[in-house]
Structure 1
Amino acid sequence: MKDDLGILVLSCDKFADLWKPFFTLFEENRNNCPYPVYLGSNTVRYEDSQVKTLYSGEDRDWSTSCRSILQQIPHKYVLVLLEDCFIISKLDVEKITQSVQFMQDNNAKHIHFHPVPKPDKWLPNQEMGVYEKRAPYRVNAVGFWDRAYLLNLLIDGESPWNLEIQGSYRTAYDDGFYCPKLPLFSHVHVVEKGCWFPEAIAYCQEHDIPLEIDKRPILKNQFQLKSKLQMYYFNLMIKVP
């Protein structure tokens, strides 16, 4: 089972300042997780014997870099993480292994890392919900993926957010999309639109996780409100039949 999954942290050189705090928290919460860990970078190496850096070359766009990185990974499945999503709870290794087994047994294409949006139905006697065909937001960049399927899904020029919206349309008639009943881990969203989240700064300062604050501005209150209103709107829209 160990050879079936790789954990991939997708990033790029301009966010290299996030790698140290990300992996500091990751190692604190790894909980002896045996699966190999990869970091997707453009050209910069991360010096850590527990992390293998993979290079995509010049940063053209997120999906093009993602494809280049995925082509270098030898595993059938990948657990995709993003560098600005800091993990702040212990990884449940048994749940990760069970998720890989579920993908094998059910020919799953993708499992979200948390139950958002809510699934169309919960599977009986399982800790999984299913997203039916044509369900909006059935694609989330973060989560378990069949590596070959994700490679075929990617289109050059897209961001992770484009993938979640447009990818949901492109997968509308495919089976194999699921989410767990409980989140795979707790997390702190650190950066949005090139700005620090104040809540993330506060969390890292409280837990002695160093951040290079001068690397980017701090998200102002009005933009935080706008972001939350946009998220509320999107969440409302996906509930419309």
Structure 2
Amino acid sequence: MKPNYSVLISSTDSYSDCWVPFFTLFKKYWPHYQGRIFLSTETKDFSFPGLDITCTRVARFTGSANTPHGERLLEAFKQIDTDIVVYLHEDMFLDHFVSEGKVQKFADTMLEHQMTYIGLVESGNQGPFHQSEFPDLWEVDHSDSYLFSAMASMWNIRRIARYFRAHENPWQTEFYVNRRVKPTKERFYTINRDLYSYPDRAIMPFAPVTGIYRGKWHRDAVVELFAAEGIEVDYSLRGFYAPGIDDVDPPKELSFKKLVSVVKSRI
């Protein structure tokens, strides 16, 4: 029986080198998932044996292969036929079995209580937290800078879409969604950290760091895992993230386009 939620993988055509590793591990560590998977892309299509993957290919509707992150998500929402999604990135590589029963329980709870958001990992929402009426969940305090976190989480896309803006990139989305949620009475939840933790008690288990950082492979997250799973990747195409060296930001460029983007986000 198909679940009452879908999986939404946030990606982009330029990260297609992550898809085979991601879905190889997804199929192994979430073997009983029978629902639909929506892979956010601009133009590319992709399939994987045994998985029901729909590539959103949003350029068909936006008319641009450079569709901004916010617009890609909003266009993806239009294609998804469930209110609830499990939101992941293409470089969140599972390395233990997903707690499918808990995910299903959370989906049922979100629908019954009209929840908007549940964070699924410790590395998402930062706190402070409060006990809630749900033993598995803590309520995230509105003072949290990551009241909304784009790490692994569950969303009611019909409710959360009101906080997204089409023009925003991933960093703007996370920053400004938080700003938009804070003045509201919206309740955001996250996993009870006393009950669920990585790796053995995780609900959505992947390494504490994502597989790609600043556009390069994060050695600690992928090399041993991929080798153990028989996944072959040409790491030279991206190279490895070098702490310190790759952490230096290039000089910020001021432009009218960026100014307009910021103004639009603040409106």
Q: TM-score, normalised by structure 1?
A: 0.85
Structure 1 match to 2:185? 174
Give the % identical residues: 18
Structure 1 match to 2:24? 24
Structure label with greater radius of gyration: 2
- The 8 Å contact of residues 119 and 178 in structure 1, kept in 2 or not, is answered as no
The alpha carbon displacement at 1:212 in A equals 2.6
Paired amino acid for 1:185: M
| Structure 2 unaligned spans of 5+ | 60-64, 197-201, 250-267
Larger mean CA deviation between 134-143 and 100-109 belongs to 134-143
- The 8 Å contact of residues 126 and 144 in structure 2, kept in 1 or not, is answered as no
Give me the whole-angstrom Cα distance separating, in 2, the residues matched to 1:34 and 1:223.
43
Aligned ranges 1:124-163 → 2 under 5 Å: 124=133, 126-141=135-150, 142-163=152-173
- The 8 Å contact of residues 120 and 130 in structure 1, kept in 2 or not, is answered as yes
| Structure 1 unaligned spans of 5+ | 228-241
The alpha carbon displacement at 1:94 in A equals 0.6
Give me the whole-angstrom Cα distance separating, in 2, the residues matched to 1:75 and 1:85.
22
Give the strand-richer structure, 1 or 2: 1
DSSP-derived class of the 1:38 partner: strand
Are 2:121 and 1:121 aligned? no
Larger mean CA deviation between 49-58 and 61-70 belongs to 49-58
Paired amino acid for 1:178: Y
Deviations 1:138-160 (A, max 9, x none): 11123110111232211123233
Structure 1 match to 2:230? 208
Structure 2 match to 1:236? none
The alpha carbon displacement at 1:224 in A equals 6.8
Structure 1 match to 2:56? 54
Q: Which of 188, 205, 211 pairs up with 1:190?
A: 211
Q: TM-score, normalised by structure 2?
A: 0.78
- The 8 Å contact of residues 108 and 176 in structure 1, kept in 2 or not, is answered as yes
CA RMSD of aligned residues (A): 2.2
Aligned residue pairs total 227
Larger RCO, structures 1/2 (Cα 8 Å, 6+ apart) = 1
Give me the whole-angstrom Cα distance separating, in 1, the residues matched to 2:229 and 2:2.
31
